[in-house]
């Protein structure tokens, strides 16, 4: 089945060489199944489109016959202005995706589009509000971060000063201890 499919795909050209083993045959078989399923789907879609085209053509012929019989109108008898109005009506119906060109269909389609517009505008307002809140929070966070950095810098500078003072006091204390020992020794010697 894989070989027949490969020959069908490549047509008159020779099938390229490939390593024939269980794995490659399994992969190719899966491709065959997927390809055939897609072909069936496309065939069904084509048949559906042909059926719809036939239905639309029959509906157009019916409407044209209705116009011709009841109003004695045909596309050739319409003025250029009438033809442009008819084209505008058809284009509007297509753009609004109505099932026909009745006023009810137009009003329903316009109402649906208006509702969709309001929903979209509402979502946009919600998103703008959320974005605005996020910006405010971000600004606050950046301000706090900057303040924290400044506080950290001041603390490090203060710590450096205090460390210098502590080192100086430690040296003074060591000097006083040494001096005290020296004086004790002198006192003992003097005694």
SS3 per residue for 86-112 = HHHHHHHHHHHCCCCCCHHHHHHHHHH
> Of the candidates 49, 46, 6, 13, which has an alpha carbon nearest to the alpha carbon of residue 29?
6
Per-residue confidence at 74, pLDDT binned at 50, 70, 90? low
Q: Is 96 exposed, middle or buried (0-12, 13-18, 19+ CB in 10 A)?
A: middle
Predicted confidence (pLDDT) at residue 72 exceeds the cutoff of 70: no
> pLDDT tens-digit profile of 30-39?
988 999 999 9
Query: Using one digit for the tens of pLDDT, what is the confidence trace for 123-162?
Result: 999 999 999 999 999 999 999 999 999 999 999 999 999 9
CA distance 52 to 59: 10
pTM for the full predicted model:
0.40
Output 4 or 45, whichever has higher pLDDT: 45
- pLDDT band, very low/low/confident/very high, at 77 (cuts 50, 70, 90): low
The DSSP call for residue 100 is S
């Amino acid at each position: 089945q894989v070989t027949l499919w490969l020959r069908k795909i490549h047509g008159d050209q020779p099938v390229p060489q490939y390593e024939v083993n269980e794995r490659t045959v399994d992969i190719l078989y899966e491709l065959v199944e997927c390809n055939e399923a897609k072909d069936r789907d496309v065939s069904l879609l084509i048949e559906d489109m042909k059926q719809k085209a036939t239905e639309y053509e029959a509906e157009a012929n019916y409407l044209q016959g209705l116009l011709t019989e009841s109003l004695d109108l045909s596309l050739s008898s319409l003025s250029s202005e009438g033809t442009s109005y008819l084209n505008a009506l058809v284009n509007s119906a297509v753009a609004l995706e109505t099932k026909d060109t009745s006023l009810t269909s137009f009003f329903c389609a316009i109402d649906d589009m208006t509702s969709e517009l309001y929903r979209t505008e509402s979502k946009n307002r919600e998103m703008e509000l959320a974005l605005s809140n996020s910006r405010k929070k971000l600004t606050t966070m950046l301000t706090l971060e900057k303040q924290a950095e400044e506080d950290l810098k001041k603390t490090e500078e203060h710590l450096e000063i205090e460390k210098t003072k502590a080192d100086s006091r430690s040296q003074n204390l060591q000097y006083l201890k040494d001096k005290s020992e020296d004086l004790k020794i002198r006192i003992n010697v003097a005694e």
